[in-house]
Amino acid sequence: MSDACFKGFTAEAAIGAYRIVKFGTADHQVVLATGPSDLAVGVSDLATDAGDVVDVALGEFHEVVLGGTVIRGQPLTSDANAAAVAAAPAAGVNAVTIGFALQSGVAGDIIPYFGQRGVIQG
């Protein structure tokens, strides 16, 4: 399921399919996101080796792998493994979000989400 706008970026390191990516060290490059404060770009489409082009879903509807239990409707952010988890920042802490879960799931599931980047504060 994908009705997303895609943009090609160069992968600075290997990137798995359906993983959240952030901007890399140079323009037009991405790496795996490692937490909720990373400036997430979107979600990788297919697995890619370092130096290759990775298509990144920037919005609309796409799929993402989960790193924990998520309930449909929850905003999603990245865990340390570039998997989506429910965004629930502590008081005064910001979390960069990639969108909202369209389906409930648990760690390892690949679920559809509505892509809408944002920041929430706890």
Residue 102 backbone class (left: φ over 0; alpha: ψ -120 to 50; beta: rest): alpha
Res 3: pLDDT = 72
Q: Which amino acid makes up residue 55?
A: D
Give the integer Cα–Cα distance in Å for 75 and 85.
8
- Give the pLDDT score at 4: 72
Mean pLDDT of 65-71: 98
For the beta carbon of residue 73, count every other beta carbon within 10 angstroms.
Answer: 12
Give the chain's mean pLDDT: 95
Q: How confident is the model at residue 1 (pLDDT cuts 50, 70, 90)?
A: low
Q: Where are the domains of the chain?
A: 3-59, 62-121
CATH number belonging to domain 3-59: 2.40.300.10
- Per-residue confidence band for 59, with pLDDT thresholds at 50, 70 and 90: confident
Average pLDDT over residues 45-66: 95
CA distance 37 to 97: 9
Confidence of residue 122 (pLDDT cuts 50, 70, 90): very high
